[in-house]
C-alpha cells in the first residue's frame, strides 16, 4: 500500500521510515503541503499522511476520493484542518494520534520559563562574544513562587508536578476539576480570575475551543500580577496578541514565553530567514528583550516523534487491512 506523506520534514522521514520498515507500507515523501493545487501528487496512493498545516477541505477530500484514497492519516492530535463530514460522505477513514508524549510539552514549557527567567539565551550569545558581564541577567528563584496552571489535562498535570518539584505553590483552573489529583499533588483549584491575581507565573494548557479563544485578553491581563510571567505552549489563539503587546509595552508583565502564536500558520515550521517578515505583530513581539518565542517545537522529542510514527503507521496498516484504527474518535 502506498501512502503520500505531505509536508514531510527530515525528522518525519527518519521516524516514519523506521516505523514502516518491515511492513507492507510504501511511503512517498513530499516536501510541500496538501491542498487543492497539490492534491494531484496523491495519484496512485491509497492513503495520505498529513500534519497541522495541510488543508484537507471538501474539494481536496473529493479529489482524494476520486483517486481512490481510503485513509487520511493525521500525524498529530488536532483535526480542525480536515473536513470530517466530507471524508465520511466519501467513505474515507480519518485517523490521528490523540496523545504522544505529554512530557515533551511539559518539559519544554519549563525549559522556556527557565531560559527566560535566568536569561540563558542572552548569556549564551554574550559569552560567545567574550562578553562575560552579568549586567541585566538577574533572574528569580522559582522556589516559593506561585504558579497558575490553566487546564489540568495530561500536559497541565505533568507541568504542575515539575513546578511542585521546584518548591512552587501551584494553583490550577479547569472546568473539570480532579479533587483527588489536586489533593495528591498539593495543588489548589481556584477560579481563573483568582489564579491570575495570585500567580507569579501563568502557564496555559487548555485546548482551543470557541470558549477559550482569547482566554487572555486586555481585561484578564490587567488582573495579572505586575511583573508576572506568562508561558503558552498550548494554542496561539488562547491569547489576544495585540493586547499582549500592549501590556508588554506598559511594563505590566515581567516576561512572556511562547511556543505558539495566533497567526503561526504559514510562518512556523519553515525557514523564512531570507525573507521580509510580513506579520507586524509577530515582528513587534520579537523586539521585546523579555519575550522568548520558539516555533511550535514543544512536541519535538525523540520519544514523541517515535510514538507519532508508530501510531500513524499502525493506523495506515490497519485501515489498509480493513480493520479499525487505534483511535476511533474521528470515525463519526
Active site residues: 235, 264, 296
Q: How far apart are CA 34 and CA 31, in angstroms?
A: 10
Q: Which of 37/265 has CB closer to ligand NAI?
A: 265
Binding residues for ligand NAI (CB under 6 A): 102, 105, 150-156, 173-176, 205-208, 211-212, 233-235, 259-260, 296, 298-299
H/E segment holding residue 10: helix 10-20
Q: At its nearest, how many Å lie between ligand NAI and the CB of residue 11?
A: 13
Q: At its nearest, how many Å lie between ligand NAI and the CB of residue 106?
A: 9
Q: Which of 140/269 has CB closer to ligand NAI?
A: 269
Q: Which of 103/140 has CB closer to ligand NAI?
A: 103
Q: At its nearest, how many Å lie between ligand NAI and the CB of residue 107?
A: 11
- The DSSP bridge pattern shows strands 47-50 and 291-293 to be unpaired
Name the 3-class secondary structure at 231: strand
Q: Which of 46/81 has CB closer to ligand NAI?
A: 81
Name the 3-class secondary structure at 256: strand
DSSP characters over 157-178: HHHHHHHHHTT-EEEEE-SS--
CB contact at 8 A, 68 and 44: no
Q: Which of 7/174 has CB closer to ligand NAI?
A: 174
Q: How far apart are CA 109 and CA 262, in angstroms?
A: 18
Classify residue 208 by its DSSP letter: -
Q: Which residue is nearest to ligand NAI (CB)?
A: 153
313 φ/ψ angles, rounded to the nearest 5 degrees: -65, -40
Q: At its nearest, how many Å lie between ligand NAI and the CB of residue 62?
A: 29
Name the 3-class secondary structure at 30: coil
> Position of cell 506561585?
146
Angle (CA) 303-309-312 rounded to 5° is 135
Q: At its nearest, how many Å lie between ligand NAI and the CB of residue 189?
A: 11
* Closest CA relative to residue 36, chosen from 54, 11, 12, 9: 54
Amino acid at each position: 500500500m502506498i501512502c503520500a506523506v505531505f509536508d514531510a520534514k527530515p525528522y518525519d522521514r527518519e521516524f516514519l521510515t523506521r516505523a514502516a520498515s518491515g511492513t507492507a507500507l510504501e511511503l512517498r515523501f513530499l516536501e510541500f503541503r496538501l491542498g487543492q493545487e497539490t492534491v494531484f501528487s496523491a495519484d496512485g496512493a491509497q492513503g495520505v499522511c498529513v500534519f497541522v498545516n495541510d488543508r484537507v477541505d471538501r474539494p481536496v477530500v473529493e479529489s482524494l476520493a476520486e483517486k481512490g484514497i481510503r485513509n487520511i492519516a493525521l500525524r498529530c492530535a488536532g483535526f480542525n484542518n480536515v473536513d470530517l463530514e466530507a471524508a465520511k460522505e466519501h467513505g474515507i477513514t480519518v485517523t490521528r494520534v490523540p496523545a504522544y508524549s505529554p512530557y515533551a510539552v511539559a518539559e519544554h514549557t519549563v525549559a522556556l520559563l527557565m531560559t527566560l527567567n535566568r536569561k540563558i539565551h542572552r548569556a549564551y550569545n554574550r559569552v560567545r562574544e567574550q562578553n562575560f558581564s552579568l549586567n541585566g541577567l538577574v533572574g528569580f528563584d522559582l522556589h516559593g513562587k506561585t504558579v497558575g496552571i490553566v487546564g489540568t489535562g495530561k500536559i497541565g498535570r505533568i507541568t504542575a508536578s515539575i513546578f511542585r518539584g521546584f518548591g512552587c505553590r501551584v494553583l490550577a483552573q479547569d472546568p473539570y476539576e480532579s479533587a483527588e489529583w489536586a489533593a495528591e499533588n498539593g495543588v489548589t483549584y481556584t477560579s481563573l480570575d483568582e489564579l491570575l491575581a495570585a500567580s507569579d507565573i501563568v502557564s496555559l494548557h487548555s485546548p482551543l475551543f470557541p470558549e477559550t479563544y482569547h482566554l487572555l485578553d486586555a481585561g484578564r491581563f490587567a488582573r495579572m500580577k505586575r511583573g508576572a510571567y506568562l508561558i503558552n505552549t498550548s494554542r496561539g489563539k488562547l491569547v489576544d496578541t495585540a493586547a499582549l503587546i500592549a501590556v508588554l509595552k506598559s511594563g505590566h508583565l515581567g516576561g512572556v514565553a511562547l511556543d505558539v502564536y495566533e497567526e503561526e500558520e504559514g510562518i512556523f515550521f519553515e525557514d523564512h530567514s531570507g525573507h521580509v517578515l510580513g506579520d507586524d505583530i509577530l515582528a513587534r513581539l520579537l523586539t521585546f528583550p523579555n519575550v522568548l518565542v520558539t516555533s511550535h517545537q514543544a512536541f519535538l522529542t525523540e520519544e514523541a516523534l517515535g510514538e507519532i510514527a508508530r501510531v500513524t503507521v499502525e493506523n495506515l496498516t490497519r485501515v489498509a487491512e480493513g480493520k479499525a484504527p487505534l483511535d476511533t474518535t474521528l470515525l463519526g
